[in-house]
Amino acid sequence: MMSKTNLTALIWEEEGVFVSKCPEIEVSSAGDTPQEALSNLKEAIELWLENAKELGLLEDYSQIFSTKQKFTSQIEMDI
């Protein structure tokens, strides 16, 4: 049975390239635009999920995938 979940996508610019990352499963990608970086990240996540299913690893992430509420925030810090 297939189910749906929401994962977080972080995107930032790094030296003229947009980097995208899903922190829940530590998958990253990149692109020339934020939209391309997001699309590439989605593809990378799909590949990760296929491999995780084949290797029997999805159970290890069941808590992350079943959580209904996720919160993101930005924190300003002096560096």
Tell me: the pLDDT tens digits for 28-73?
999 999 999 999 999 999 999 999 999 999 999 988 888 888 888 8
Expressed in angstroms, the distance from the first to the final Cα of the chain is: 47
Residue the block writes with tokens 């992350």: 64
Q: Quick check: 4 pLDDT over 90?
A: no
* Rounded-to-integer distance, Cα 41 and Cα 47, Å: 10
Q: What is the DSSP letter of 23?
A: T
Q: Quick check: 23 pLDDT over 90?
A: yes
SS3 33: coil
